[in-house]
Amino acid sequence: MWNEIRGLREGVDYGTPPRQGQPVTLTVDGVEVTVPEGSSVMLAAVEAGRAVPKLCATDMLESFGSCRVCLVEVEGRRGFPASCTLMVAPGMEVRTQSERLTQLRKGVMELYLSDFPEAEIADGWSEFHRTLDDIGIKTHGYGTGRVHFDLPVDDSNPYFLFDPAKCIVCSRCVRACEEVQGTFALTIQGRGFDSKVAASQDDPFMQSECVSCGACIQACPSHALVEKSLFSGGYERA
């Protein structure tokens, strides 16, 4: 029902919320598509049947532009803008696939994989794993460096758990807590390598301001936040 109200197709993530405005016609990979003014190129690409790989974007949240996986090329423009934050324009010609874009996306995903548990890659079913499949990558060329694998799992909440080893710090859970639920219980603490998702003042989830609404779990693309009911024998980090 919610997708019907928003004018979206059930089971399809457009990456950014729909807009209302005058129609704008552009081409995506040679496919002509018309969307409302103010729509993102990412949304237009989905409408054209040319969905762009993504991680930090979802149509339940405003665009953020942090993951750099959804890069595209635009005729007549320099660089590789993020399609989730790039607005459509009349006559715009967008390319979602090229050798250079493939190289850039693989480079980004290799960085994510360098700090993601290797044992969790092969059999994962999260959006992160689907993106790996879409881009065609399962390994990275980096050596052994600093990782977050030793951070403890927070299973204090009876309904879900948080495994920071699988967190890619995309901020989707933080944004969902703010934009969907309005609780503001989650934040990103620290900078650089030390950046991490924290509940309230870095408290266990059950002792924080979290109200167990589930918005963060729905938003998480890597199953760092995941329902306990999915693990009948209990959760064990691989």
Residue whose token pair is 């060329």: 141
| CB contact set of 165 (below 8 Å; sequence gap of 6+) | 116, 117, 120, 147, 148, 149, 151, 153, 224, 237
pLDDT band for position 178 (50/70/90)? very high
Structure tokens at 21: 């405005």
Residue 9 pLDDT greater than 70, yes or no: no
Residue whose pair of structure tokens reads 């924080």 in the numeric block:
208
Q: Where are the domains of the chain?
A: 1-97, 102-135, 160-230
- Residue range 39-67, pLDDT digits in tens: 999 999 999 999 999 999 999 999 999 99
Residue 149 in this model has a pLDDT that exceeds 50? yes
User: How sure is the predictor about 144, in pLDDT bands with cuts at 50, 70 and 90?
Assistant: confident
Please give the pLDDT value at position 70.
97
CA 8 to chain centre: 18
* Reported confidence tier of residue 8, pLDDT bands at 50, 70, 90: low
Task: Count the helix, strand and coil residues of the chain and give each as a percent rounded to the nearest 5.
Answer: 30, 15, 55
Q: Is the per-residue pLDDT at 195 higher than 90?
A: yes
Provide the pLDDT confidence category of residue 174 given band limits of 50, 70 and 90: very high
Give yes or no for a contact between 33 and 40, defined as CB atoms under 8 angstroms apart: no
**Quick one: how many helices (H) and strands (E) in the chain?**
6, 8
pLDDT of residue 7: 58
What average pLDDT does the segment 173-185 reach? Answer: 96
pLDDT confidence tier of residue 2, bands split at 50, 70 and 90: very low
| pLDDT given for residue 86 in this prediction | 98
CATH class of 160-230: alpha beta
Q: pTM of the predicted model, to two decimals?
A: 0.90
Whether the pLDDT of residue 5 is over 50: the answer is no
- What average pLDDT does range 73-100 have in this prediction? 97
For the record, the structure tokens of 192 come out as: 């650089």
Contact 227, 159 (CB under 8 A): yes
Q: CB atoms < 10 A from the CB of 11, how many? A: 6
How many CA atoms lie less than 13 Å away from 57 in the CB half-sphere? 29
Which residue spans within the chain are E strands per DSSP?
Answer: 23-28, 31-36, 73-74, 93-95, 160-162, 186-189, 196-199, 225-227
For the sheet with 73-74, list strands across it.
Answer: 31-36, 23-28, 93-95, 73-74
Average pLDDT score over residue span 105-133: 93
Q: In which band, very low, low, confident or very high, does the pLDDT at 1 lie, cut at 50, 70 and 90?
A: very low
The CATH number of the domain covering residues in 1-97: 3.10.20.740
Q: Nearest 5°: CA angle at 111, between 86 and 94?
A: 25
Under the banding of pLDDT at 50, 70 and 90, the label for residue 11 is confident
Yes or no: say if 33 and 77 are a contact pair by the CB < 8 Å rule. Answer: no
Indicate if the pLDDT at residue 6 is higher than 70.
no
